[in-house]
């Protein structure tokens, strides 16, 4: 299974770093967080230039993101994202009508990541397994499960889920927060599908996210 590096960036920072993403980091996937829905129309033409390596994501407040719009507005926003024809759209399993959004995207040839984000805690392994089965039941192109680590032990449950996964549908899984940073390093070694990195600590899209420079240094040491 392929493991991809993805630079995650807030929509409001995209234009600032567009040239860097086009040139220095042209071999990586790019996730643009569209939580502020007004940026969809504003950036449409610019994003189209990246569509073959683009992941477009709307993360709600419930999932630890910044989107506080109602379900109807979110549904309409996803339809606008589909017009850009990204490589993937990421749909939170907590989003109303996520299966309807998935079907519409697939009809347009867009791959779908169905994700579970818990910004508060890491559930038990039993619950994580149920969440994973629910995502797999929906038959997306890829699955993503991310939780908040409150202790280092929380990483073990998520990494165990990753190790158990069939990977028939690629799975990305790791923990957020300062206690979860270790899982972001180990997860790719266990087959996690996508590694999400930031350009800088200040522009991270999730707590504990590694910068691309830090990640590359760590991987260089590990592979000596």
Segment holding 90, helix H or strand E: strand 88-92
Q: How far is CA 163 from CA 167, 178, 189, in A?
A: 9, 22, 10
Contact 152, 121 (CB under 8 A): no
As a whole number of angstroms, the distance between CA 115 and CA 143 comes to 6
Is residue 201 packed enough to be buried (19+ CB in 10 Å), middle (13-18) or exposed (0-12)? exposed
As a whole number of angstroms, the distance between CA 69 and CA 127 comes to 28
Active site residues: 117, 144
**Got the DSSP string for 157-218?**
HHHHHHHH---SS-EEEEEESGGGHHHHHHGGGGT-SEEEEBSSGGG-SSTTPPBHHHHHHH
Q: How far is CA 106 from CA 76, 80, 86, 157, 195, in A?
A: 16, 14, 11, 31, 23
């Amino acid at each position: 299974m392929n493991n991809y590096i993805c630079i995650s960036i807030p929509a409001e920072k995209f234009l600032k770093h567009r040239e860097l993403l086009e040139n220095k980091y042209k071999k990586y996937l790019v996730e643009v967080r569209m939580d502020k829905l007004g940026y969809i129309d504003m950036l449409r033409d610019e994003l189209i230039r990246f569509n073959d390596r683009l992941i477009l994501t709307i993360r709600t407040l419930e999932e630890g993101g910044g989107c506080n719009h109602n379900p109807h507005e979110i549904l309409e926003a996803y339809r606008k994202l589909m017009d850009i024809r990204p490589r993937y759209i990421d749909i939170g399993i907590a989003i109303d009508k996520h299966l309807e959004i998935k079907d519409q995207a697939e009809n347009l040839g867009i791959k779908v990541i169905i994700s579970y984000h818990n910004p508060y805690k890491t559930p038990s392994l039993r619950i994580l397994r149920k969440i994973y089965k629910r995502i797999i039941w929906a038959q997306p192109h890829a699955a993503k499960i991310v939780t908040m680590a409150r202790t280092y032990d929380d990483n073990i449950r998520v990494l165990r889920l990753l190790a158990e996964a069939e990977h028939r549908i690629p799975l990305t899984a790791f923990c957020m927060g300062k206690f979860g940073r270790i899982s972001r390093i180990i997860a790719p070694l266990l087959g996690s599908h996508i590694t999400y990195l930031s350009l800088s600590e200040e522009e991270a899209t999730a707590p504990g996210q590694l910068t691309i420079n830090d990640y590359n240094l760590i991987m260089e040491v590990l592979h000596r």
